[in-house]
Amino acid sequence: MASDLPTGERSEAREIRDMSFGVGQMGSGHGWLIGDKVFAPARTDVTTRLGDIEIWRLIADVHHPVHLHLVGFTVLSRGGGPPPPHDAGLKDTVALNPGEAVEIITRLDGYRGRDLFSCHTAEHEDMGMMANLEIT
């Protein structure tokens, strides 16, 4: 039951964020972007407060395994429907399929400071597909 999980309920979410994962321009070539931006170490992409519950709506152009460091989450929906069995439980990575939206819910607690999230495909991560999360 979702209420048994530590990540919270949909009605408790303080923020809903949309994030796209896709190919784009990086320098003079192509890279892999989150929210149309190449990773910049000094830029904060998402700012949130310790203990807040958030829903992130993720969508991708091709397959991307999206990974949150230090933060567990659960899958709320996939492709507009209930998550299939393989999405059950507390996760740190979720597989995005081409064009399919996935909603995740997370409680950002246990760590205050700077954190990262990224695509777990090493070639994508190395080519820009990371973002900074600041938990205040």
What is the total count of residues that contact Cu ion (CB under 5 A)? 4
- Taking the complex as a whole, the smallest distance from the CB of residue 33 to Cu ion amounts, in Å, to 10
- Taking the complex as a whole, the smallest distance from the CB of residue 17 to Cu ion amounts, in Å, to 18
Nearest C-alpha neighbor of 104 from the set 44, 55, 53, 41 = 55
Beta strands in 1-101 (DSSP E): 15-26, 29-34, 46-48, 53-60, 64-68, 73-78, 93-96
| Contacts for 29 with CB less than 8 Å, ≥ 6 apart | none
- Taking the complex as a whole, the smallest distance from the CB of residue 11 to Cu ion amounts, in Å, to 31
Chosen residue from 71, 119, 127, 135 binding Cu ion by CB under 5 A: 119
Task: Verify binding: residue 121, Cu ion, rule CB under 5 A.
Answer: yes
Chosen residue from 45, 54, 56, 64 binding Cu ion by CB under 5 A: 64
Q: Which residues are bridge partners to 17 per DSSP? A: 56
Q: Give the pair of three-digit tokens for residue 136.
A: 């205040």
Binding mask 4-43 for Cu ion (x = CB under 5 A): ----------------------------------------
Dihedral sign of CA atoms 59, 64, 67, 73 in order:
positive
- Taking the complex as a whole, the smallest distance from the CB of residue 91 to Cu ion amounts, in Å, to 16
